[in-house]
Chains A and B, each alone.
Chain A
């Protein structure tokens, strides 16, 4: 069965520093991978997705993600974190199904 793992419950980073939020997936073929962000008391907002092609995907708000097939990972990155990036981030996978399976989420805290 397809699954997604986000190994860190929380990531802390200082404003201006680069950030990485980790995601690994488990499917037997080529998945579609997504990142969403959830701000307090809000719904999930789509950030970016990997379908095929270039392993580095650029998305909204300066975020990017790197797809690594050999490591089955899809880590979310940003070169310079902002306090306003503090939120809950979800990685998700879809493979051979309409269902979008989410990881457990990682809380990003950016300190001034």
Chain B
């Protein structure tokens, strides 16, 4: 168990809908990362938050947004969903202070858009 919790584990929704994925980081970790894993594009970095503020942005679509709350949990919002958004979405957290610390991943949310 990595200590990172993601809910829900599975989500099936229709095109055009909006969903929210939730992540609780390891206790004490201030950084939260979101990744998308699809069959044809591997693991793509989406966005990072540090202590409530956006720290880095990757290949995140404008239809997607995220936030980190004061209790450090994070939510990834996906709207106007398309079939191509079907993927595994991972959250990771990391103890900051140095770039040499590893990130710990949750078990992911499998999103299926039908």
The interface of chain A, by Cβ under 8 A from chain B, is 32, 34, 36, 42-46, 49, 51, 90, 94-105
Contacts and interface: CB of A to CB of B under 8 A. Distances in A.
Given A90-B43, A102-B42, A102-B43, A49 B90 contact: no
Contacts of A51: 100
Most chain A CB inside 10 Å of its own CB: which residue of B4, B58, B94, B99 = B99
Interface string B74-114: 00000000000000001010101001101111111000000
Point out which of A43, A96, A101, A104 has the most chain B C-beta atoms below 10 A from its C-beta. Answer: A43
B43 A105 contact: yes
B34 to A, nearest CB: 11
B45 interface: yes
Contacts of B68: none
A62 to B, nearest CB: 18
A97 B33 contact: no
B99 A43 contact: no
B42 A104 contact: yes
Interface residues of B, number: 26
A97 B56 contact: yes
Contacts of B35: 102
B90 A98 contact: no
Interface in B13-61: 31, 33, 35, 42-43, 45, 48, 50, 55-56, 58
A34 B43 contact: no
Contacts of A103: 42
A1 B19 CA distance: 32
B100 A42 contact: no
B43 A46 contact: no
A76 to B, nearest CB: 15
A100 B35 CA distance: 10
Nearest to B41: A104
Contact of A44 (B58, B94, B100, B105): B105
A44 B42 CA distance: 13
A101 B35 CA distance: 10
Contacts of B43: 44, 90, 102, 105
